[in-house]
Amino acid sequence: MTDQANTPTTYEKIGGEATVAKLTARFYELMDTTSHFAELRAMHPADLSGSRDKLFMFLSGWFGGPDLFVEKFGHPKLRARHMPFAIGTKERDQWVACMVLAMEDVGLSEDVRKVLLTNFFNTADFMRNKEG
């Protein structure tokens, strides 16, 4: 049996708040400056700071750290919050690819990236609400 109380969370493994902040900043920087992510970028407002802050708060809790998003906004209800946006396979894949690059750029270990990639892909796939 594993003692979950002694198992570090993803939040702790990656370096806590500072790394989550770097990851979200890099994600939005890549999305804003890389033409490959143009469709994904077009779904966001001109000023990305609000989106960045919400992702930071969400990831903090999702990684096992402070549940900042829930404290400020309540339950994430990810699918409902993303329903106004047409999300298909292309948008999902752009989001995941952007996050993969961000994880690499901030230096997350390969083991952590593998686990997170699976979780990110499954969540992004769940957000799809259009064909194609």
Model confidence over 108-129: pLDDT tens digits? 999 999 999 999 999 999 999 9
Instruction: Centre a 10 Å sphere on the Cβ of residue 120 and count the other Cβ atoms it contains.
Output: 19
pTM: 0.92
Query: Is position 32 within any domain?
Result: yes
- Structural domains in the chain (count): 1
Query: Is position 94 within any domain?
Result: yes
Query: Is position 5 within any domain?
Result: no
Confidence of residue 1 (pLDDT cuts 50, 70, 90): very low
Q: What is the residue range of 35's domain?
A: 12-127
Query: Is position 2 within any domain?
Result: no
Residues 57-105: pLDDT tens digits? 999 999 999 999 999 999 989 888 888 889 999 999 999 999 999 999 9
Enumerate residues 6+ apart whose C-beta is below 8 A from 26.
101, 102, 105, 106
The strand ranges marked E within 69-116 are none
- CATH number for the domain harbouring residue 55: 1.10.490.10
